[in-house]
């Protein structure tokens, strides 16, 4: 029997996707985790029952539970970061690269694109967009502007093409930054990124790419079809959150990635997959946001009371912010994601630390009460998303006090019309249960 489980974060990211994927891998004995969006900016924390811990970026979060990883063409791969991640997994006793396949059409992030990304953010000063500083946006922008001239995973095994494309990407990213030089502060971080952008010695980078392709396997798109035809479970692991989606998030505080289930659904469609599918939405029991952008239920007291084990203030993203659970945002996330079979609610144990639990039932925008945000009537309307952003920055939350976590879970299921399938009360698989 074949089964596909599609997971999606219904917030601004950091919902506990890695922990849930690890749990599902163990429960369903999944043979493969497919990453269907994002790149090296992911930070999916997994703690195993025996105490090992890893924060997954590019490998599937079922790795420590025995699953292989397939990186689809919708992923953006950073070879240097992937090798560093593989080294940590090796120290934990897992040779992850040997169980990893990479679609030949996956885009490759180079140090030049990462440097351009960081220099642009440094040039924005206080007006940063909240980038992770990993070069994802610049890589996507280069692809949209130059198509086949950029670097794909399939080029990593073609030495001549690899050298030529690295030189091209370095040149175009130097040109991007040349126009910004007068705006850049005279600081050590700026100097460091400029040095990387102008480094003409590509030998170390070529060596890293060679090591990656000697261990992981670059495959054609049809490889996923064979994975899905195998008996057993395949888990599709999303990155970031629906509220950061490139088209449905609140522009400009978004990512250059489709974070809804659209990519996963597309991959299943292309494979002609007709077997069982479970669509699982993941949310914390409270709201969070890492970095800049509108966050109506943010509460400074909650941010202080609920510090996160692996989410502090980031050099590029900024601070980790906490707010009350938000029915308005969750309704919007469901509207843009499409039907779900169940919810996984994480960090339920953290709310037990609080004297009182509140939930946001609506927003107050001057004299208007807002219970639902209508998605854009047309796809790819960034002007509409900017209007939503401006509105959210004006809004105040309408809060209701609940009797405790049990009341919160009951309220979420009733208001959202989706049953709660998994509750997580701690980081390990042993601290999760099916409802």
pLDDT at 309: 74
pLDDT at 73: 97
CA-to-CA separations, 255 to 76, 98, 110, 139, in angstroms, rounded: 12, 30, 18, 12
277 Cβ contact list (under 8 Å, min separation 6): 3, 4, 5, 6, 268
Q: Determine the average pLDDT of the residues in 268-282.
A: 97
Most trustworthy range by pLDDT among 253-257, 313-317, 345-349? 345-349
Contact of 291 with 319, CB cutoff 8 Å: yes
pLDDT at 422: 98
pLDDT at 302: 94
For residues 279 and 51, give the distance between their C-alpha atoms in angstroms, rounded to a whole number: 29
Q: List the single range of 117-131, 189-203, 217-231, 335-349 with lowest mean pLDDT.
A: 117-131
Q: How confident is the model at residue 185 (pLDDT cuts 50, 70, 90)?
A: confident
pLDDT tens, 392-402?
999 999 999 99
For residues 16 and 282, give the distance between their C-alpha atoms in angstroms, rounded to a whole number: 7
Count the Cβ atoms, other than its own, within 10 Å of residue 56.
Answer: 27
Would you give the distance in Å from CA 97 to the centre of its chain? 21
Whether the per-residue pLDDT at 103 is higher than 80: the answer is yes
Q: How confident is the model at residue 128 (pLDDT cuts 50, 70, 90)?
A: low
Q: Determine the average pLDDT of the residues in 90-115.
A: 97
Q: Report the mean per-residue pLDDT for the chain.
A: 94
Whether the per-residue pLDDT at 336 is higher than 90: the answer is yes
Q: What are phi and psi of 89, to 5 degrees?
A: -65, -35
pTM score, whole prediction: 0.95
Q: Determine the average pLDDT of the residues in 79-96.
A: 97
Whether the per-residue pLDDT at 124 is higher than 80: the answer is no
Whether the per-residue pLDDT at 316 is higher than 80: the answer is no
pLDDT at 121: 84
Whether the per-residue pLDDT at 127 is higher than 80: the answer is no
pLDDT at 41: 86
């Amino acid at each position: 029997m074949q089964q596909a489980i599609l997971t999606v974060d219904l917030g601004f990211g950091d919902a506990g996707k890695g922990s849930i994927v690890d749990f599902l891998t163990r429960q369903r004995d999944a043979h493969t985790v497919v990453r269907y969006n994002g790149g090296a900016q992911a930070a999916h924390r997994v703690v195993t029952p025996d105490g090992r811990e890893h924060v997954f970026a590019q490998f599937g979060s079922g790795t420590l539970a025995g699953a292989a990883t397939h990186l689809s063409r919708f992923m953006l791969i950073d070879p240097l970061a992937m090798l560093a991640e593989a080294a940590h997994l090796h120290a934990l006793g897992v040779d992850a690269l040997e169980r990893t396949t990479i679609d030949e059409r996956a885009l490759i992030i180079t140090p030049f694109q990462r440097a351009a990304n960081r220099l642009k953010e440094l040039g924005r000063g206080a007006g940063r967009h909240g980038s992770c500083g990993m070069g994802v946006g610049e890589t996507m922008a280069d692809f949209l502007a130059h198509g086949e001239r950029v670097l794909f995973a399939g080029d990593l095994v073609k030495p001549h093409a690899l050298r030529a494309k690295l030189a091209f990407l370095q040149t175009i990213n130097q040109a991007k930054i040349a126009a910004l030089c007068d705006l850049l502060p005279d600081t050590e971080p700026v100097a460091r990124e400029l040095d990387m952008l102008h480094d003409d010695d590509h030998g170390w980078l070529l060596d890293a790419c060679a090591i990656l392709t000697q261990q992981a396997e670059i495959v054609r798109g049809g490889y996923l079809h064979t994975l899905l035809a195998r008996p057993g479970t395949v888990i599709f692991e999303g990155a970031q959150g629906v509220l950061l989606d490139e088209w449905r998030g609140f522009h400009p505080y978004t990512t250059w990635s489709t974070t809804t289930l659209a990519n996963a659904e597309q991959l299943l469609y292309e494979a002609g997959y007709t077997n069982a599918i479970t669509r699982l939405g993941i949310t914390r029991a409270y709201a969070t946001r890492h970095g800049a952008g509108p966050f109506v239920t943010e509460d400074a007291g909650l941010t202080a009371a609920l510090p996160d084990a692996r989410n502090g203030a980031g050099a590029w993203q900024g601070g980790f912010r906490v707010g009350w659970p938000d029915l308005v945002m969750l309704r919007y996330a469901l509207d843009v994601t499409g039907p779900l079979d169940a919810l996984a609610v994480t960090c339920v144990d953290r709310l037990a630390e609080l004297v009182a639990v509140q939930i946001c039932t609506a927003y107050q925008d001057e004299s208007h009460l807002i219970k639902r945000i209508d998605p854009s009537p047309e796809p790819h309307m960034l002007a509409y998303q900017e209007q939503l952003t401006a509105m959210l920055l004006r809004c105040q939350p309408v809060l209701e006090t609940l009797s405790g976590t049990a009341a919160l879970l009951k309220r979420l299921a009733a208001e959202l019309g989706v049953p709660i399938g998994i509750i997580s009360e701690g980081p390990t698989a042993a601290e999760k249960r099916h409802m």
